Structure 1
Amino acid sequence: MFQTKIEPRVSETDGVGHINNTTIPIWFEAGRNEIFKLFTPDHSFNNWKMIILKMNVEYVSQIFFGKTVDVYTWVKRIGTSSLELYEEIHQDNILCAKGNVTYVNYNIKLQKSEPIPDEIKRELENHYYTEC
């Protein structure tokens, strides 16, 4: 599992006092930075490999400004050229949002997907999601 701490900003708070729903996918993406680094160590967009295919978000509980949140990211499935992640956001040890996202390892220059290298697969396997 990868864990990322985020300090909510005032600008992410909506008119009813909780973090706006549009912010949650951005926080989930922030939780994927270590995975992005595996595929593109220099973070160069000229060599970028991770192309999002699909994502969903389920809002479970409200999130509020003034309290840190934890973003947890697990690997759910590794295919030949794609991977699926499972993600959760917690505040005060309460599950607030969860979701899944699917990425493909993509060669921008050749405009086609490529197999995920074995060394990346081995590292990703260290972060598999196991249901409680």
Structure 2
Amino acid sequence: MKVTQTNIDVRYAETDQMGVVHHSNYVVWCELGRTKLINELGFDYAELESSGILSPVININLDYKQPAHFGETVTISTWIESYDGIRVIYGYHTENEKGTTCMEGTSTHVCVNKETFRPISIKKHLPDWHKTYEKHKK
């Protein structure tokens, strides 16, 4: 299983008046981690989209454990939690500099035809992605 780590400096704009990160920012951080993982696996979202394939989020589940704060650097670890040839579930774990878990969760994705938005088989239409995901899933 491959795990990618992405460091994120918590910006003031991501926090409320108490300096606590707003929950919606974790979704953005998951995207940063997921994109980095895909790049480290040798693929590129932009190339996927230019080929006429999109990969929308169909489910996201995040459990908030402890708040992250302005001025901290958090690390988001990202991996392929599961993959079945059609659906990909990415796993996430975010912790602060002290090693305290801030968030854990998953997001589920499918690939769809850009024109019809109908799901496609990754195994059939993206054989290189399929092989790599099979190799690196949990």
TM range (shorter): 0.7 to 0.9
Which residue in 2 is equivalent to 1:53? Answer: 58
1:86 matched to 2:80? The reply is no
For 1:23, what is the secondary structure of its paired residue?
helix
User: Which runs of no fewer than 5 residues in structure 2 stay unpaired?
Assistant: none
Equivalent residues, number: 129
Q: Which residues in structure 2 correspond to 1:27-42 (within 5 Å)?
A: 27-34=29-36, 38=43, 40-42=45-47
CA apart distance, 1:109: 1.7
1:75 matched to 2:77? The reply is no
- Percent same amino acid among aligned pairs? 22
For 2:56, what is the secondary structure of its paired residue?
strand
Distance, in Å, in 1 between the alignment partners of 2:136 and 2:46 is 18
Q: Which residues in structure 2 correspond to 1:1-132 (within 5 Å)?
A: 1-34=3-36, 38=43, 40-42=45-47, 44=49, 47-92=52-97, 93-116=99-122, 117-129=126-138
User: Which runs of no fewer than 5 residues in structure 1 stay unpaired?
Assistant: none
For the aligned residue pairs, the C-alpha RMSD in angstroms reads: 2.1
Query: Match for 2:16: what amino acid?
Result: D
Task: Write 1 or 2 for the structure with the bigger share of helix.
Answer: 2
Distance, in Å, in 2 between the alignment partners of 1:41 and 1:125 is 22
Distance, in Å, in 2 between the alignment partners of 1:128 and 1:25 is 21
**Are the counterparts in 2 of residues 39 and 120 from structure 1 also a CA contact under 8 Å?**
no
**Are the counterparts in 2 of residues 39 and 50 from structure 1 also a CA contact under 8 Å?**
no
Higher mean C-alpha deviation, range 57-66 or range 103-112: 103-112
**Are the counterparts in 2 of residues 86 and 100 from structure 1 also a CA contact under 8 Å?**
yes
Query: Match for 1:65: what amino acid?
Result: F
Distance, in Å, in 2 between the alignment partners of 1:122 and 1:36 is 13
